Amino acid sequence: MLLSLLALSLNAQSWEEDLRTEVEELLSKTKKVSIGCCIYDLTADSTLYEWNADRMMIPASTQKLYTATAMLSTYGEDFTFLTSITTNGEEAMDTLGNLFLKGDIYINTNCDPTLTAEGARAIKDKIIAMGYDSIDGGIILCINEKTQHIRLAEDNFAPQVARLLASDTVKFSSSLTWGKENTTDRGTYPLGYIRTPLLKVMNRMLKSSDNIYAESMLLNLVKNDQNWSYDGCKDVVREMVSKIRERYRPEECQWDIKYNYYNIIDGSGLSHSNKSTAQSQIDLLRYVYNDKNIYHLLYDNMPIAGVDGTLGRRMTNGMAHNNVHAKTGTLNGVSTLSGYLTASNGHDIAFSILINNCYDKPYARTLQNRICEIMSK
């Protein structure tokens, strides 16, 4: 029995040492690029490897992991992006028995990023369900300080709804108007609601790295619209990250997180002024892993190596294939990859590989792929 335990201990030690040796050898050959790397054994609750893990780096779209985690921590999976369809008009019946609406229709969106062609059809269906034969008024997309931060809908969104209604036998008066307005007159009578589930938005944000979807999520982090501000939304993320650092790195709490741990400019990672360390990203992944209410929600919506999303064409064979669940990030001179995998010994691993000042994207991605293959052994 003692010999068996000793053998298991030696095998584990050998696996850890082999991983460190191979990753170290790989990274030591890199030149003229900045790399921050951290590998953490979640099962053993121990750091396996670090390379400039405390260096502030540009995270690119791995920033979306912070946005997604903040949203899940704040609201849970049942949150929906609500769009209401209202009117200030009145219903009436003409002499032929046709039902018509005299007044404007308002589309009030809560930063639902799906307000594209799909959203226009859904809104059309809601209005059709009211049974109107004709509309004497306009279709107005309401905008405010919150929705103006991103182009949630193109300028032609309202006329697109009008065209869909017209093609479905709804007639409009010759005075039909459409557009978008800064307005507090959002109508008093509800015609219908469109509810888009958070997980639908999160899936596209993570799998396809959709920046508009990420910003839409960030814009909803302040619950009270009356006290809404863009900085307030970012403060929710900052507060979450500060609590995570306090849990895992209490000795560093005397410094502001923006100097040596994390700095947020936007929710998508588009800005080169976003900053995080590989340690910060590992701490975030540890936090998620230890919260079973959100872990699988994030894990299941990440791109999978060789299977789908932004990792669909990477790691298409080998042990990393269909094993790595991770968020990619790409900007000019930046390539990042952070997420989870399972090692051959059954241990769950969290990793973050942040590469800056590298303008050879194939080289950066190949390096990340090789590290993932080493970790998967």
Please list the pLDDT of the chain residue by residue as tens digits (377 residues).
544 544 445 455 688 999 999 999 999 988 889 999 999 999 999 999 999 999 999 999 999 999 999 999 999 999 999 888 888 888 888 888 888 888 888 888 888 888 776 778 888 888 888 888 888 877 887 777 777 766 555 556 777 777 777 776 677 664 455 555 565 556 678 888 889 999 999 999 999 999 999 999 999 998 776 788 999 999 999 999 999 999 999 988 778 888 889 999 999 999 999 999 999 999 999 999 999 999 999 999 999 999 999 999 999 999 999 999 999 999 999 999 999 999 999 999 999 999 999 999 999 999 999 999 999 98
Q: Is 225 helix (H, G, I), strand (E, B) or coil?
A: helix
Q: Are strands 275-276 and 262-263 parallel, antiparallel or unpaired?
A: antiparallel
Both tokens of 17, joined, read: 């040492």
Query: pTM, whole model, 2 decimals?
Result: 0.90
Residue 203 to residue 110: CA distance in whole angstroms: 19
Going 166 to 170 to 176 to 182, the CA torsion angle's sign is negative
Contact call for residues 329 and 60 (beta carbons, < 8 A): yes
Count other C-beta atoms under 10 Å from residue 237's C-beta: 22
Q: Is 137 helix (H, G, I), strand (E, B) or coil?
A: coil
Contact call for residues 301 and 83 (beta carbons, < 8 A): no
Query: Which of 88, 64, 96 lies closest to 142, judged by CA?
Result: 88
Residue 362 to residue 159: CA distance in whole angstroms: 43
Residue 48 to residue 61: CA distance in whole angstroms: 24
Q: Is 47 helix (H, G, I), strand (E, B) or coil?
A: strand
- The structure tokens 């298991």 sit at 8
- Domains of the chain in start order, with CATH, are 15-77+220-376 (3.40.710.10), 80-198 (3.50.80.20)
